[in-house]
Amino acid sequence: MKMCVTAMAGDLNAHVDPRFGRCKYFVFVDPDTMAFAKRCQTMLLLHREQGLKQHKQ
């Protein structure tokens, strides 16, 4: 069974991010083998960039 952990970086040493919907990364971990995969929230980054562009105008 794999677990999903919200994280501030994409590795096992990263701090947990308490903001599930706005976290930077999801880290999927297999607790038996400690193998992991990361997934960056690209939509979150796109929304931030759009907000910055609108603010500068």
Residue span of the structural domain in which 7 resides: 3-56
One digit per residue, pLDDT tens: the chain, 57 residues? 899 999 999 889 999 999 887 788 999 999 999 999 998 887 666 555 555 455 555
In total, how many domains does the chain have? 1
DSSP the chain: --EEEEESSSSTTSPBPS-GGG-SEEEEEETTTTEEEEEE-HHHHHHHHHHHHHHH-
Q: For residues 48 and 28, what is the distance between their CA atoms, to the nearest angstrom?
A: 24
pTM for this prediction? 0.67
| CATH code (residue 8) | 3.30.420.130
In the numeric block, which tokens belong to residue 26?
A: 């999801």
* C-beta of residue 39 within 8 angstroms of C-beta of residue 26: yes
* C-beta of residue 6 within 8 angstroms of C-beta of residue 26: yes
